[in-house]
Structure 1
Amino acid sequence: MFDTMTSTKVLGAVCGSLLVFLLGNWAADSLYSMEGGHGGEETQSYVIAVEDSGAAAAVEEGPAFADLYAAADVAAGEKAFAKCKACHKVDGTDGTGPHLNGVVGRAKAAAAGFGYSDVLKGMAADSWTPENLDAFLENPKGYAPGTKMSFAGLPKVQDRANLIAWLATQP
């Protein structure tokens, strides 16, 4: 069925296909290369002008947390708690996360019966002050690396202040 001529044609087709593939790859690399192709000189196709006012890392700060916490809206805090309800309860029972009754002022990792992460157990000598809760709720994994809490955090300081004020009302 296969004679020498057929085998030669098949081998030639495979080699020819490989050659076309390699040439196409070379052409694509030349066209879409990220390296400078003109004597090693890299050029930009356009430049975005950015004004530098001398304080490149200056961050505009809003009101202090203590001021926002003092004027916090408890009703808005209850609405903010809706994001926490999936894991936390305020009826004294634990869910996926520990119950949050009396969490403001309570020692860290102190809800009896809940399996806290080692990092929070290591912070057990400290308590959940409004400032500590603010830092934790802003970025849980940044505050306590290795925490079991998978929530990304509340980016708005006003939402955190309202939530903490509402939690403070929960016995």
Structure 2
Amino acid sequence: MFDTMTMTKIVGAVCGALLFFLFGAWAASSIYGLGEAGHGEHAKAVYPAAVEAEEAPAEEAAVKVAYADVAGAADAAAGEKVFGKCKSCHKIDGTDGTGPHLNGVVGRQPGAAAGYGYSDAMKAVTEAWTPEHLYAFLENPKKVVVGTKMGFAGLPKPEDRANLIAYLETLK
């Protein structure tokens, strides 16, 4: 019943399985290992832990740029390139995507595009989408309209926001 060939196959299978697990452990320790520190030593964390940020001194705080300061230099062609970040959710052909269409958004009431299911927070906004309001919203959407469904983090560069607004003003 157990001849030499069967016994060789069994021993080979066991050795192969052990070799497989040995290489798996080696790969895992090289990816998730502690580096120079051994198992018994205290090691630095491989992934940094989240730490509450301290307030920056007043001279290092980011300077807020008003829309009026950058509106004169806004370029609609550059704004069309910035719109590439918006394309995944918003359309400009009059149909809604994940977000509402942006045709005629400048001057429109928030939550007023027919056929799109806005969040209650967006429906509650009373100020129209003026360039100044859009400028503030595009910097940090979740801060300006708390409870919005828009998951975009915002555009930190004032020039990008102004260029995007100039482009959106061309869409009717």
TM-score bin (small chain):
0.5 to 0.7
Aligned equivalent of 1:48 = none
Aligned equivalent of 1:109 = 111
Residues 60 and 117 (structure 1), Cα distance of their counterparts in 2 relative to 1, 3 Å cut: closer
Residues 120 and 63 (structure 1), Cα distance of their counterparts in 2 relative to 1, 3 Å cut: closer
Please list every run of 5 or more consecutive structure 2 residues that lacks an aligned counterpart in the other structure.
1-39, 44-55
Per-residue CA deviation, residues 94-114 of structure 1 (Å, 9 max, x unaligned), is 000000001011111110010
The Cα shift of 1:62 comes to 6.5
Aligned equivalent of 2:128 = 127
The Cα shift of 1:56 comes to 2.8
TM (norm. structure 2) is 0.64
Aligned equivalent of 1:163 = 164
Aligned equivalent of 2:155 = 154
Q: Percent identity?
A: 63
Per-residue CA deviation, residues 123-159 of structure 1 (Å, 9 max, x unaligned), is 1x32001111111111111111111001111111100
Residues 166 and 142 (structure 1), Cα distance of their counterparts in 2 relative to 1, 3 Å cut: same
Residues 118 and 78 (structure 1), Cα distance of their counterparts in 2 relative to 1, 3 Å cut: same
The Cα shift of 1:164 comes to 0.4
Aligned equivalent of 1:144 = 145
Aligned equivalent of 1:96 = 98
| Of 64, 67, 85, the match for 1:65 | 67
Q: Which whole-Å CA distance do the structure 1 matches of 2:158 and 2:133 have between them?
A: 13
Residues 96 and 71 (structure 1), Cα distance of their counterparts in 2 relative to 1, 3 Å cut: same
Decide whether the 8 Å contact of 2:107 with 2:130 is kept in 1: yes
The Cα shift of 1:64 comes to 3.2
The Cα shift of 1:60 comes to 5.4
Residues 100 and 71 (structure 1), Cα distance of their counterparts in 2 relative to 1, 3 Å cut: same
The Cα shift of 1:70 comes to 2.0
Per-residue CA deviation, residues 35-76 of structure 1 (Å, 9 max, x unaligned), is xxxxxxxxxxxxxxxxxxxx9323353653212112201110
Q: Which whole-Å CA distance do the structure 2 matches of 1:62 and 1:114 have between them?
A: 33
Give the SS at the match of 1:153: coil
Larger radius of gyration: 1
Q: How many residue pairs align between the two structures?
A: 120
Please list every run of 5 or more consecutive structure 1 residues that lacks an aligned counterpart in the other structure.
1-26, 33-54
Give the SS at the match of 1:90: coil
**Residue 151 of structure 2 aligns to which amino acid in structure 1?**
S
Q: Which whole-Å CA distance do the structure 1 matches of 2:116 and 2:146 have between them?
A: 19
